[in-house]
Structure 1
Amino acid sequence: MPLRFIGIDPDTKTGDSPTVWVDQDKQELVVQGWKPGPQLEAECAAFEAPGHAVGIPDDEAVIRIPARMVHMIREACDVLERTDAR
C-alpha cells in the first residue's frame, strides 16, 4: 500500500515543505522536516536516557517540524490506531 498523505506545513513555500504521511502496512509515521543544524544535532546526539544509546545511528536522523503541524501528527496517529484496530 502506498503512503497515505496526511498534511504539509500550511506555511510552506516553494521547496520548504515539512510533510506528514502514514505507512499503514508498516504501522509507522513518516515525517519530512528541516535539518536541525549542527548545534541541535549535537545536543540530541549527546542525550542520555535509560535504554537510549548516546549518538545518532547512521540509519536514523533528527528533524524539526513546526508546532503548527501538531494536529497533523495527531491525525496520523489516529489513522494508525484505526488501522491497528482492524
Structure 2
Amino acid sequence: MPLLFIGIDPNTGDDESPTVWVDQEKRELVFQGWKPGPELEAECAAFEVPGHAVGVPDHEAVIRIPARMVPMIREACDAVERAAAVQ
C-alpha cells in the first residue's frame, strides 16, 4: 500500500503519535489516533443513523484525533482528491 505521510500531531510526545496518511492507490484517508474511553465508544455504538445498523462493526474502530490536526486532515483530503483526479 503506497502511503503518503501527511503529518503527525505537533504536540506528540514519545508515547503518543496521532498521524494522518493518504493511501494513494485506494484513495483513502488513513488515521492513527487515540482509543476512546468506554463511554465514548458506547455512545458512538448506540448512535442511530437511518439505514445503518447500530453498533461499531468488529472490523471498524472509533478513534480520537486532536482538533489541532485539522490542517493535516484538510491536506490529506486535498491529496486524496488529487489522486482521484489522476485516475
TM-score, normalised relative to structure 2? 0.95
Q: How does 1:1-86 map to 2 (within 5 A)?
A: 1-86=1-86
* Structure 2: runs of 5 or more not aligned: none
1:13-62 Cα distance to aligned partner (Å, 9 max, x none): 00200000000101100000000110000000000011221000000000
Distance, in Å, in 1 between the alignment partners of 2:42 and 2:60 is: 14
1:77 partner SS = helix
Distance, in Å, in 2 between the alignment partners of 1:8 and 1:52 is: 32
Distance, in Å, in 2 between the alignment partners of 1:58 and 1:66 is: 24
Distance, in Å, in 2 between the alignment partners of 1:70 and 1:13 is: 19
1:4 Cα deviation after fit: 0.5
Paired residues in the alignment total: 86
Aligned identity (percent) is: 78
* Counterpart residue type for residue 17 of structure 2: S
* Structure 1: runs of 5 or more not aligned: none
1:74 Cα deviation after fit: 0.4
